[in-house]
């Protein structure tokens, strides 16, 4: 099925470092979503972006909606151990389905 491409695939960082990840698509989206998934859990919405060029923050998280509408970026500042997990970007197609990215696995070392 169709998926969005995320990079990097995985990251191993030290606590306190900043993190950047991105998501690209071959087609445009009018909404970009960023989710975090912990082991054994469902994805939890972190940030939603609704407008090209929009920059939105949620605590230490900041996400941007690319101006081409084909990409989005997520930054995490001053990482902490509980940031560990898999981060997915997603975009809706119509009013029913979400297209998810391939995921970025984040590991934070103390």
Partner 1 sequence: ETGVTQSPTHLIKTRGQQVTLRCSSQSGHNTVSWYQQALGQGPQFIFQYYREEENGRGNFPPRFSGLQFPNYSSELNVNALELDDSALYLCASSLDPDTHYNEQFFGPGTRLTVL
Q: What are phi and psi of 109, to 5 degrees?
A: -105, 140
Among 20, 24, 48, 52, binds partner 1 (CB under 8 A): 48
- The pair of structure tokens assigned to 65 is 């909606």
Among 14, 26, 41, 82, binds partner 1 (CB under 8 A): 41
CB of 27 vs partner 1, minimal distance in Å:
16
Q: Taking CB under 8 A as the rule, does residue 26 contact partner 1?
A: no
Q: What are phi and psi of 82, to 5 degrees?
A: -75, -5
Instruction: Please name every residue paired with 12 in a beta bridge, in sequence order, or none if there are none.
Output: 107
Q: Taking CB under 8 A as the rule, does residue 97 contact partner 1?
A: yes
CA dihedral 31, 5, 11, 88 (to 10 degrees): 40
Binding site for partner 1 (CB under 8 A): 1, 3-4, 31, 40-45, 48, 88, 90, 92, 94-103
């Amino acid at each position: 099925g169709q998926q969005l491409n995320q990079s990097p695939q995985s990251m191993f960082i030290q606590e306190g470092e900043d993190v950047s990840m991105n998501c690209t698509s071959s087609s445009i989206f009018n909404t970009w979503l960023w989710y975090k998934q912990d082991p054994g859990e469902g994805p939890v919405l972190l940030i939603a972006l609704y407008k090209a060029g929009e920059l939105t923050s949620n605590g230490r998280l900041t996400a941007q909606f690319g101006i081409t509408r084909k990409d989005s970026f997520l930054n995490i500042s001053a990482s902490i151990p509980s940031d560990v997990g898999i981060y997915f970007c997603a975009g809706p197609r119509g009013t029913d389905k979400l297209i998810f990215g391939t995921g970025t696995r984040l590991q934070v070392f103390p």
